[in-house]
Amino acid sequence: MIVLLGASGYVGRTFATELRRRGHSFIPLTRRAFDYTRFDFLFDYLRTMRPVFLVNAAGYAGNWSGRVTEQEREKMLAANAFLPQMIARVCMMTKTPWGHISSGSIYSGAKVQRLGAVVVEKHLGRPELLNLFESHPDSFHGFTEADEPNFSFRAMPCNFHSGTRALAEEAIRDVGQSYVWRLRLPFNEREEPGNWLSRVRREHQVYDCINSFSHLDDCVKACLDLWEIRAPFGIYNVTNPGAMTTRHAVEDLQRVLSSAPQVLPAEDQDPPNEPQSHCILDSSKLLKAGVKLRPLADAFEDCLGRLHRTSRAAKSFDPVSRRPAPALV
């Protein structure tokens, strides 16, 4: 039996769907039903139930608007740093292998090859980098699992959320048997606050940049594959190979949904309340471990195709009769 924490969230529900599809028996835990954030509760639970694996998909990202209140900081610290640290201790004491959902937002930038040298560029919204990416995307290399986070409380500036995510990785490292799965801007066709596409669709304006992305369903499968093939424990960047500019993503979205925000150059942006992370991750460790992930371009195209079909079906739905409306001719 597998225990799933944070089962009511965007990522947690995707894990639940995939575990069910694979025929694994699992117990989805939510804080409302069982307060797994308490050491004594979780310890007794794991000691009694003896799960073969635990997935931690719990966390707190704030309200996505960029403004972080003191109260939200406390929640972030508790959910993103203290909770994983506590889970790591409980799992070590009960000898439970586990996987933790982390985030690529502990990095900023990418390694860029220019004039025969490779340098870390931290601000991927700069026009000359966007131009270089358009003409030579192969010049951009992502951070690997061996690179220390460069957007954390130890490598300021960072935002508070990223700082807490990096703290968690430090606390978990070398404690017991754990996977740290780093996602980056997860997306799919489901309308959710945590879905990057849903967030973009709600905006009037977005600023251009370059990023790695995780097709959430692909990435959840990859996380479970790692455990099923008994890949070595440790950190894995779980992003679809490749990277994409915001402009490219939004233009594709516009083509499919005929409505999308305006994309502005990053230099037009007022300084955000907190620094933002935009980065490229290298997922080759995952591929070397034997877990395949579709290239980002294919995953994004597939997702947009599904969104298109869903939006067409919604448009042809007659809300009065609650039956599909006749096809327009």
Ligand X SMILES: NC(=O)c1ccc[n+]([C@@H]2O[C@H](COP(=O)([O-])OP(=O)(O)OC[C@H]3O[C@@H](n4cnc5c(N)ncnc54)[C@H](OP(=O)(O)O)[C@@H]3O)[C@@H](O)[C@H]2O)c1
| Window contacting ligand X (CB under 6 A); options: 73-81, 141-149, 265-273, 315-323 | 73-81
Question: Among residues 122 and 161, whose Cβ is nearest to ligand X?
Answer: 161
Q: Identify whether the C-beta of residue 284 lies closer than 8 Å to the C-beta of residue 143.
A: no
Question: Among residues 185 and 243, whose Cβ is nearest to ligand X?
Answer: 185
Min. distance of Cβ 33 from ligand X in angstroms? 8
**Position 11 contacts ligand X (CB under 6 A):** yes
Q: What is the dihedral of CA 188, 190, 194, 198, to 10 degrees?
A: 90
Helix ranges, the chain (H): 10-21, 39-49, 70-76, 83-93, 127-135, 160-172, 196-202, 216-228, 246-257, 284-288, 296-315
Q: What is the CA radius of gyration of the chain?
A: 20
**Position 57 contacts ligand X (CB under 6 A):** yes
Question: Among residues 132 and 237, whose Cβ is nearest to ligand X?
Answer: 237
Sequence-separated (6 or more) residues with CB below 8 Å from residue 169: 102, 106, 149, 180, 235
Give the residue, chosen from 18, 24, 27, 31, that forms a contact with ligand X under the rule CB under 6 A. Answer: 31
**Position 107 contacts ligand X (CB under 6 A):** no
The shares of helix, strand and coil residues in the chain, as percent rounded to the nearest 5, are: 40, 20, 40
Q: What is the dihedral of CA 95, 101, 104, 107, to 10 degrees?
A: -50
| Window contacting ligand X (CB under 6 A); options: 53-61, 113-121, 146-154, 286-294 | 53-61
**Position 78 contacts ligand X (CB under 6 A):** yes
Q: Identify whether the C-beta of residue 215 lies closer than 8 Å to the C-beta of residue 294.
A: yes
Give the residue, chosen from 18, 27, 30, 198, that forms a contact with ligand X under the rule CB under 6 A. Answer: 30
**Position 197 contacts ligand X (CB under 6 A):** no
Show contacts with ligand X in window 165-184 (CB under 6 A).
183
**Position 149 contacts ligand X (CB under 6 A):** no
**Position 300 contacts ligand X (CB under 6 A):** no
Residues that bind ligand X (CB under 6 A): 6-12, 30-32, 37, 57-61, 75, 78-79, 101, 103, 183, 185-186, 194
